[in-house]
Amino acid sequence: MLRGILKRMLLNAIKQMERASRHNASVISLAQGIPFQSSDEHIRQAAIQAIQTGRADQYSDPQGLAELRRAISCSLAEQQMAYEADEVVVTAGAIEGLNAVLHTLVTPERPEVVMPVPVYSAYSRSVTAAGGQVVPVRLDEAHGWRLDITRVRRALSGRTAAILICNPNNPTGSVYGRHELTALARLAAEHDCVLVSDEVYGNMLYGGATLFSPAQLPTYRRHLIRIVSFSKDFALTGWRIGFVQADASRIDELLAVHDTLVNCAPVVSQYAALAALQQSRRILSANRQTYRRHRVLMESYLAALGSRVSYCSPAGAYFFFVRVQGVTDSRAFCLELLKRSGVAVVPGADFGPGGEAHVRLCFGRSAAAIRTGMQRFTEFMEDYHG
């Protein structure tokens, strides 16, 4: 069944646009969410030492290195999340963790996964690959992509396996508040399903925004699973390393699926992640300052376009999700922009219902790339007539 499902899938638009940009050195990519900077020297040296001493040559425990899981547990405690090392599974990035989670939750009796949309396009593909069905719930664009809990409640049924959220949201940059998240956790408990919270961008916050995680609510921990990645925070996208935290009652089944998918996360990457946690305060503080500047820089170009575009300033993550006046086919628009101006961005249609007529632009790239890319985007928009 899985083989048949995957044969019908095509590479998502984010990867398609990024691949197109890599084939032409003159293209400026503001598409895939790749941090522009290299990983920190402390992290690289830790990985080198692990290689040179032979510690990365063999499989780790499928659940992950014990010392890394202990460090993650300590980090979680500092964030008011009480999870023991044995309640953490180290994964080959967030997407592998998500797939492992969905394969444990989705069943023939409960195939439905409720998702606020627009949202990261890989979610729907992962649900489908697990044999599930996506139940979309539209976010309210007119009110800053607000999540309407009443809409979520109406979408739930006895067939619901999970509620899946990205917080901060990719692509909208909206951040769900404590009230909304507590309500979602309560709904998950009432319907005996699971709230899966992907918090990959949880350390990228702007304008006074703060992040509350439903994993801080011990009352609902049996109905919560949290997914985290080291990729964006520590410029480790190529290292494929992240983790899933869950109540102890869910770990055995999750670990069995994870072991089937990858055996264990790359061991050298696990040592890199351990070093990242040791220097996290310094690295994350520097990142926040950089991305705040990049956000202001990109917004200055968007604001200058006036009524040609509309958008909500992102409170989190590192994307602008921009509605372009006159666009009815965002894929065609992005291909024309790439062909005529040499700028790669992502069509909003790829993010599900509510995404069409938008494009996603990443300000995680270098300041130079943002300036050049946005200047080209501006010139293209001046001549664009829909």
Q: What domains appear along the chain, each with residue ranges and CATH number?
A: 2-38+282-383 (3.90.1150.10), 41-279 (3.40.640.10)
Provide, rounded to the nearest whole percent, the portion of the chain with pLDDT above 90: 92
Cα–Cα distance list, 285 to 233, 282, 289 (Å): 10, 5, 7
If one compares 315 and 5, the residue with the highest pLDDT of the two is 315
pLDDT in tens, 312-339: 999 999 999 999 999 999 999 999 999 9
Rounded mean pLDDT, 10-16: 64
* pLDDT at residue 7 is higher than 60: no
Max alpha carbon distance in the chain (Å)?
Answer: 61
Cα–Cα distance list, 196 to 168, 214, 223 (Å): 13, 9, 8
Please give the model's pTM, rounded to 2 decimal places: 0.94
pLDDT in tens, 220-247: 999 999 999 999 999 999 999 999 999 9
Query: What count of Cα atoms within 13 Å lies in the side-chain half-sphere of residue 296?
Result: 7
Question: In angstroms, rounded to a whole number, what is the distance separating the alpha carbons of residues 36 and 75?
Answer: 26
pLDDT of residue 14: 59
Question: In angstroms, rounded to a whole number, what is the distance separating the alpha carbons of residues 279 and 55?
Answer: 21
| pLDDT bucket at 5, cuts 50 / 70 / 90 | very low
pLDDT of residue 278: 97
Question: In angstroms, rounded to a whole number, what is the distance separating the alpha carbons of residues 345 and 331?
Answer: 10
Give the strand pairing for 224-229 and 242-246.
antiparallel
Question: In angstroms, rounded to a whole number, what is the distance separating the alpha carbons of residues 347 and 329?
Answer: 8
pLDDT of residue 1: 46
* pLDDT at residue 84 is higher than 70: yes
Question: In angstroms, rounded to a whole number, what is the distance separating the alpha carbons of residues 5 and 170?
Answer: 25
Checking phi first, is residue 41 left (phi over 0); if not, alpha (psi -120 to 50) or beta?
alpha
* pLDDT at residue 21 is higher than 80: no
| pLDDT bucket at 25, cuts 50 / 70 / 90 | confident
